[in-house]
Chain A
Amino acid sequence: MSELVRVEGLVVDFPVRAGLLRQRRVRAVDAIDLRLGRGEIRGLVGESGCGKSTLARAIVGLAPPSAGRVLLDGVPVPARRPPGMRRRIQMIYQDPGSSLDPRRTVSQTLAEPLRRHRTVPAERIGHRTRELLEMVGLGERQAHALPRELSGGQRQRVAIARALAVEPEVLVADEAVAALDASVAGAVLNLLSDLRERLGLTVLFISHDLATVRGLCDRIAVMYLGTIVEEGPVAEVFARPGHPYTRVLLDAVPSRDRRRSGAMARGLEGEPPSPLRVPPGCRFHPRCPQAAERCGESDPPEDRRDGQRVWCHFSWRDGQPYEL
């Protein structure tokens, strides 16, 4: 698979207020490297506040990087993206209710980017709009509807159609199905995977739901406090997670055979991490069930196994396959 997106040493800082007049900077994304192959669906998981949305926004061009760069097809993306480059990476959000203009009909919403980016000649806009609707499984009936007249699943389909209007190569989906009922979410997820097949679309799928990532994605990256701690093919990472944090995340998911009576899943003790106080050494060590002395002293090395990469002093510590 050829590489389409490459993130190199990406850093994103935000100013925060610290006291009355003092400002300090908080590092939401800290020197991240990530590659997306063409036509790949890549899952990005981690707890709230770990920086996954900030990473996504930096890739789309909505958060300026403080250091590092994003390459598209081997070409570095400039800080100010020309429209042609912006067009190639599109984003969809968790709540299509607030990302769609409530006063515009669906077809007006879809025509707007077609006009702005001059993707098709003016007389073809109506035709292209219908094509886009059909692509996401909507029909003529929804074309003249306002967002409030649509269900949550239909609104998310409109948001996807709008993103596709400019024929992007990469779609960044930030918790795109988190607000939908499971019965509806599946249809939107199937749509994403069909679009990948039909259009060769590359997708960065940000989610807190590991079971969904397992069902949809080819590869997964696990983020913790601004860094990636593990990444690799979904099958391998779920079958034998190399990082204790990945194991904790998997353990916390309620599962079929882990019913009550003492066997209830363990979560994590302690306060969730804050990028305002990044611990030295391995960032996960204060909450890690298997931390040793050296974890608090030095940065964890990268450890590789097949296509899987883990940043931990004790990756795959027991060497045993992990059992769900």
Chain B
Amino acid sequence: MSAHPLLEVDGLRVAVRRDGTALTVLDGVSFAVGAGQCLGIVGESGCGKSLTLRAAMGLLPPGIERTGGEIRLSPRAGAAPCAVPPGQAAGRGLAMVFQDSHASLDPTARVGAFIADIVRRRTATSRAAARRRAVELLASVGVPDPALRFGSYPHELSGGMRQRVAIALALATDPRVLLCDEPTTALDVTLQAEILRLLDAARADRGLGMVFVSHDIAVIRQIADVVAVMYAGQIIEMGPAPDVLDRPRHPYTRALIDAVPTLDGPIGRFRPIAGSPPAPADYTPACRFMTRCAHHVAACSGPVPGVDGLDSRHRSSCVNTLEAR
């Protein structure tokens, strides 16, 4: 692994503009990803995890913009990361895989031709070489009969096969960092396992940096080296996966782990988290989990910043961490 991280997100702030006011939805999100490393981001719907990926990719929807912080991307292997200006797509070096594989593919284009087209745009090779490369890519993601599948349209493929093609497409741009937004959520558990293996193999073989967003803590446990837990637009706990998932310090992380039934845990009543996360309009500098937290103390109402996760030491934003008690 080189000394420099491939992608650094530093104090990222994102706001939704509505009726002349700006509503902050991401509030000081910081993390770094190195070569061959997988950062897992986990949290409930609406906590800002997908938005974080889109901001990093420079793909924020209209009306939502970066209002602070820096996104730095390593321009080539071994080089220090440089800032990507707000409003600009990160472009080369980053690629994204979505939950809905239809989102990445062109419904009117044969999948192989679509990939070959991307390869040609990137590398200015001959048509024949681009075609060979596309077939290779399809084979590398486990598409059976890649030469035959080259001519298929997206709608002719099953969901799992389409997600493989979407991954081949992402790899066609030769990225250094792969951003994955719930890529297995719409799939059956058997296919999910295959896609996770595939992504993990791509990470290991190509030394890819990976940011993997999921609401499913079991999936994150399986794929991530470093885990960031997001709540209400902030990272509230971050660190090496075994530390965060086996010895969580933030009561929210603990509650989230306990809420998910497992195949090997004790059978009893389910343990949901009471209440619901605050809406962005209700975000305050205080701890945003406070009202749902069984352990809150007076200090929780004071300013509680999110976790600065530019290195991968284990830390939590909780002023009354589980470990300290």
Contacts and interface: CB of A to CB of B under 8 A. Distances in A.
Interface of A: 47-48, 151, 153, 181-187, 189-190, 193, 208-212, 214-216, 238, 248-260, 264-272, 324
Nearest to B256: A183
Interface string B207-241: 00000000111110111000000000000000001
Contacts of B319: none
A210 B265 CA distance: 13
A151 B188 CA distance: 26
Contacts of A208: 188-189
B208 to A, nearest CB: 14
Contacts of A253: 189, 218, 263
20 contacts: A47-B189, A48-B159, A151-B276, A182-B215, A182-B217, A182-B256, A183-B273, A186-B271, A187-B270, A211-B218, A211-B261, A212-B261, A214-B263, A249-B189, A249-B190, A255-B263, A256-B264, A260-B223, A267-B190, A270-B144
B194 interface: yes
Contacts of B159: 48
B291 interface: no
B197 interface: yes
The CB with the most chain A CB atoms within 10 A, among B192, B194, B219, B222, is that of B222
B222 A181 contact: no
B270 A272 contact: no
B44 A254 contact: no
Given A186-B271, A249-B189, 14 more contacts: A47-B189, A189-B270, A193-B269, A253-B263, A254-B218, A255-B218, A256-B265, A259-B241, A260-B222, A264-B222, A265-B222, A267-B192, A271-B161, A324-B264
Given A47-B190, A258-B222, A264-B197, A272 B160 contact: yes
B261 A215 contact: yes
Contacts of B223: 260
Interface of B: 44-45, 144, 158-161, 188-197, 200, 215-219, 221-223, 241-242, 255-256, 259-265, 267-273, 276
Contacts of A257: 264
Contacts of B273: 183-184
Contact of B44 (A183, A211, A214): A183
B270 A255 contact: no
Contacts of A151: 276
A190 B270 contact: yes
Contacts of A252: 189-190, 192-193
Contacts of A212: 261
A20 B273 CA distance: 54
Contacts of A256: 218, 221, 262, 264-265
Contacts of B276: 151, 153, 184
A-B pairs with lowest CB-CB distance, top 6? A186-B270, A186-B272, A267-B193, A267-B194, A187-B272, A183-B273
B68 to A, nearest CB: 28
A210 B261 CA distance: 9
Given A181-B44, A186-B259, A254 B270 contact: no
A56 B161 CA distance: 28
Contacts of B161: 271
Nearest to B222: A254
Nearest to B142: A269
A215 B270 contact: yes
B218 A267 contact: no
B272 A183 contact: yes
B190 A268 contact: yes
Given A211-B262, A212-B261, A47 B188 contact: yes
A117 to B, nearest CB: 31
A264 B200 contact: yes
A181 B182 CA distance: 13
B155 to A, nearest CB: 15
Nearest to A212: B261
Nearest to B195: A267
Contacts of B188: 47-48, 208, 272
A208 B186 CA distance: 11
A292 to B, nearest CB: 21
A266 B222 contact: no
Contacts of B144: 270-271
A274 to B, nearest CB: 9
A117 B178 CA distance: 55
Given A183-B256, A267-B191, A267-B192, A259 B222 contact: yes
Q: Which among A182, A184, A186, A260 has the greatest number of chain B C-beta atoms within 10 A? A: A182
A259 to B, nearest CB: 6
Contacts of A258: 222
A48 B193 CA distance: 15
